[in-house]
Amino acid sequence: MADTAITAAILVIGDEILSGRTKDKNIGYIADYLTNLGIDLREVRVVPDEEAEIVAAVNALRSRYTYLFTTGGIGPTHDDITADSVAKALEVGIDHDPRAVAMMQERYAPGELNEARMRMARIPFGADLIENPISKAPGFIVQNVIVMAGVPSIMQAMLDAAAPRLKGGARMIVETIDAHGLAEGNYASELTIIDKEHPLVSIGSYPSFTGKGFRNQIVVRGKDADAVALAAENVRSLVARLTGDGAPA
Amino acid sequence: MADTAITAAILVIGDEILSGRTKDKNIGYIADYLTNLGIDLREVRVVPDEEAEIVAAVNALRSRYTYLFTTGGIGPTHDDITADSVAKALEVGIDHDPRAVAMMQERYAPGELNEARMRMARIPFGADLIENPISKAPGFIVQNVIVMAGVPSIMQAMLDAAAPRLKGGARMIVETIDAHGLAEGNYASELTIIDKEHPLVSIGSYPSFTGKGFRNQIVVRGKDADAVALAAENVRSLVARLTGDGAPA
């Protein structure tokens, strides 16, 4: 399974996330999106608006995963240094890209396209542009790095634009089994055995607090439909037996 | 400033965050909390429930920052491997901790405290426990690593319990200036100059989409009150001049 997996990482760039000023809404969205594409999100990092930090994270992540998605830092202000940092990480040049300038000219009158806004047309050499239907300044794909805006509505539009250019993987098949009031501690030992018996699937147990108490769900995930179905059946039998036995919640 | 800063990283541990199944609510909460303590959150990573990944991330982050906060992976099921992985990263032993067992016994009757639940009493040697008023199974602080639950309500209670044991830093002073309808591109060049003139502060520009259009806010942050006040005054003058000039929004 591992040798053919399409993998990904996300790099969120921005002081405002680390200070708590802005609450990230992109990680969860991209995670769902990639799962639907059959791409395994394997790691996420958040780093500040500092070139050395961005360069180091870009290089660590792009070398390890099929794709690296970045969000944030592609606006017109001095703290928007993602494009230049990615170019530096990849050791490619960067300059105003005529295609990006043309996109910007759709939005800005000649007098409005000042030096700061022209920063948004700085694109690493060799990149493909990602259209931005909302505010025009494009994202880009360079090698295996997909560079997107941080504003969620723009990021989402860019992800839609980029997705057709990505290799999809085998879709993950997921079965969720409600533990029907069982506490994790009541099924954990036997769940461990089921997990070991089914090496093609991963099994997780997820407590959540609903306000009325804890709710546990057991999730079976894998790319082999038969393996997932069999493991899920074993989990369902376990839950039925334990609830039937009147085990304490 | 940098030499005396108290810094931190967060390590979120869990397949469910990477698959998108669970949306993280802890990063933003901890970010706010640390900012209020005067601790600079410098990096966040999210990794799967895999020992090698957790060990590598723990070692990368604990060596680099004053504190490392982890969330997730301390429950009773087979995928809860945080405590053992942290012990491995720190090269310390781990076993059932009598203090943790005593805490668990407050919640569970002797017959209920089975092998799976006893996993939650496995604590690395040399750790201080972090009380869990909600479900009893404790978190812990070992060296500079603070290990907490992933369920937000429990994590929040653990953070409250751990906070008095942390070194606080100089509080960050923050001034937020609304750009009053100005587009970033209209003030970006001059903001760059202000940023360069005030090396003791960091200045960020944050667009957000309100539904009625983009709203930009300029944030001045620093630990020197006079420096922040002066830079903020310069930013306010810039905004006033540009809006007074009737610059396009």
> What does residue B124 show for φ and ψ, rounded to 5 degrees?
-60, 145
* Mean pLDDT (chain A, rounded): 92
Asked if ipTM goes beyond 0.90, one says: no
Q: Which of A154, A189, A208 sits opposite B115 (nearest CB)?
A: A189
Write down the architecture of domain B2-165 according to CATH: 3-Layer(aba) Sandwich (3.40)
pLDDT, tens digit (0-9, with 9 covering 90-100), for B196-246: 999 999 999 998 877 677 789 999 999 899 999 999 999 999 999 998 854
Of B115, B203, B209, nearest to A153 by CB-CB distance is B209
Taking contacts as CB-CB distances below 8 angstroms, the residues of chain B near A202 are 15, 79
- pLDDT, tens only, A10-42: 999 999 999 999 999 999 999 999 999 999 999
Domains B2-165 and B173-244 share a fold: no
Report the gap between the CA of A92 and the closest CA in chain B (Å). 25
CB contact under 8 A, B185 and A114: yes
Among 3.40.50.170, 3.30.70.600, 2.10.69.10, 3.40.640.10, name the CATH number for the domain at A173-244.
3.30.70.600
As a whole number of angstroms, the distance between CA A131 and CA A121 comes to 12
- Residues of A in Cβ contact (< 8 Å) with B187: 116
- Residue B181 in contact with residue B217, Cβ under 8 Å? no
CA distance B208 to chain A (A): 6
What letter would DSSP give residue B167? P
Query: Are the beta carbons of B14 and B48 closer than 8 angstroms?
Result: yes
Token digits of residue A104: 């910007």
Show me where the domains of chain B are located. Answer: 2-165, 173-244
pLDDT tens digit at each of 249 positions of chain B: 444 789 999 999 999 999 999 999 999 999 999 999 999 999 999 999 999 999 999 999 999 999 999 999 999 999 999 999 999 999 999 999 999 999 999 999 988 999 999 999 999 999 999 999 988 999 999 999 999 999 999 999 999 999 999 998 788 899 999 998 898 999 999 999 999 999 999 999 998 877 677 789 999 999 899 999 999 999 999 999 998 854 444
> In the 8-state DSSP scheme, what is residue B211?
S
Amino acid at A108: Y
Of B22, B41, B203, the CB nearest to A206: B22
3-state secondary structure of B73: coil
